[in-house]
Amino acid sequence: MAADGNITKDLIYDAVAPDDFESMLDLDRYNGRSTAFDKIISATHDHFWDPLDKKYIDFDEPWDMDNQPLVPEELNVALQTKYVSDHLNTPSLRAQFINKSLLRSFSSILHGEQGALNLSASLCHVLLDQGAQEYAANQTREEARHVTAFAKYIKARWGRPVECTK
> How buried is 163 (Cβ within 10 angstroms: 0-12 exposed, 13-18 middle, 19+ buried)?
exposed
- Collect the ranges in the chain with pLDDT lower than 70: 1-12, 166
- 75/131 Cα distance (integer angstroms): 42
Would you tell me the crossing angle of helices 38-46 and 130-158 to the nearest 10 degrees? 30
pLDDT of residue 37: 86
pLDDT of residue 17: 86
pLDDT of residue 11: 67
77-105-156 Cα angle (round to 5): 120
pLDDT of residue 118: 96
pLDDT of residue 77: 95
Confidence (pTM): 0.82
pLDDT of residue 14: 81
Residue 22 lies in a domain: yes
Domain tally for the chain?
A: 1
Residue 75 lies in a domain: yes
Long-range contacts of 28-35 (CB under 8 A, 24+ apart): 29/128, 29/129, 29/130, 30/130, 32/129, 33/129, 33/130, 33/131, 34/129, 34/130, 34/131, 34/132, 35/131
**Containing structural domain, residue 138:** 2-158
